[in-house]
Amino acid sequence: MLSSLIFDNGPYLAARIRQSVLPSLRTFSEIVTRDVLSGFEGLECRADAVSEAEYARLGSCSGSADDENLGQAAEAAYEAGIDFYLMMSEFRQGTVNLLAVGLFHLFEQQLQHISKDGLFRGLPPLADSKLAKAEEWFRTNLGIELNSFAGWDLIEGELRLVVNTVKHGDGSSASRLRKINPKLFEDPSASNFDDFEWLKRPEFSHIEMPLTGNSIYVSEEQLQTYALATQQVFEEFAQYLASTSRANYR
């Protein structure tokens, strides 16, 4: 049953969500994500610069300009550039994975922050920001079914599993996630090579070091899909609060 606190204060809470929560989520998904990932732009040119610098360094150290030494220096410099490119590409993927983790926890914390509004000081506090605890708190204390809002199922049913997999590797969350969205475990850099198909077999798909861009691959597009889902929940939450004001029932 919907709490009288919502009937009496729905518009206030709706305004709070629209003026504070939604701008925070949009800033994270649109600006923070863009600015963070911009640090990985131009990797090809930067890799070339690494190769050139390494070639110059090796040339200055060799003291000899014969063809064999120059050839060895060129090969080593080329490999240095490749190593830089591959490592930075992995860290870029790891950063996208980490942004998905941050988005999920920001969503959880926003729900917990709302529960601490002064309106609810007479209610038992939501001490744990975990999603299941928040869902239970809003249902039990305010009569609000958060899982009825658009976007909730994607957050609870997929993004939560992504976060657990990125943070903890193999486990029950990873097993469930493989069934829900197996593409998250397919390395996009190997998608065009048939020789890598064997890597998709379960016995070769252990999750190792996901924060360095290995084993799970959240794309930027998927990250934005998750971000829109978090906004959908709060947009519908705000609409619901505004529509259940006592003034609408007079």
Please give the full DSSP string across the chain, using - where no structure is assigned: ---HHHHHHHHHHHHHIIIIIHHHHHIIIIIIHHHHHGGGTTHHHHHHHHHHHHHHHHHHHH----HHHHHHHHHHHHHHHHHHHHHHHHHHHHHHHHHHHHHHHHHHHHHHHHHTSGGGTTSPP-----HHHHHHHHHHHH---GGGSTTHHHIIIIIHHHHHHHHH-SSHHHHHHHHH-GGGGS-GGGTT-GGGGGGGSGGG-----GGGT-S----HHHHHHHHHHHHHHHHHHHHHHHHT-GGGG-
> Of residues 5 and 216, which shows the higher confidence score?
216
Report the pLDDT averaged over residues 160-170: 95
CB 162 within 8 A of CB 218: yes
Residue 124 Ramachandran class (φ > 0 left, ψ -120 to 50 alpha, else beta) = beta
Q: In the structure, what pLDDT confidence band is assigned to residue 250 with cuts at 50, 70 and 90? A: very low
Identify whether the C-beta of residue 124 lies closer than 8 Å to the C-beta of residue 220: no
**Nearest one of 130, 129, 102 to 116, comparing CA atoms:** 129
Q: Which pLDDT belongs to residue 70?
A: 77
pLDDT in tens, 179-212: 999 999 998 877 655 555 555 554 446 788 888 8
Average pLDDT for 51-60: 87
Q: Cβ–Cβ contacts within 10 Å for residue 177, how many?
A: 23
Decide: pTM greater than 0.75: yes
What dihedral angle (degrees, nearest 10) is formed by the CA atoms of 67, 72, 74, 79? 170
The pLDDT of residue 203: 43
What pLDDT is stored for residue 69 in this prediction? 74
Q: Which of 63-67, 139-143, 192-196, 218-222 has the lowest mean pLDDT?
A: 192-196
The rounded distance, in Å, linking the Cα atoms of 240 and 18 is: 12
pLDDT of 32 > 80? The answer is yes
CB atoms inside a 10 Å sphere around CB 16: 18
Q: Residue 7 above 80 pLDDT?
A: no
Judged against a pLDDT cut of 80, whether residue 47 lies above it is answered with yes
CA 78 to chain centre: 33
Q: In whole numbers, what is the pLDDT of the chain averaged over residues?
A: 88
Residue 204, judged by CB atoms within 10 A of its CB (0-12, 13-18, 19+), counts as: exposed
Which tens digits make up the pLDDT trace of 123-154? Answer: 998 999 999 999 999 999 999 999 999 999 99
Least confident of 4-18, 100-114, 171-185, 231-245: 4-18
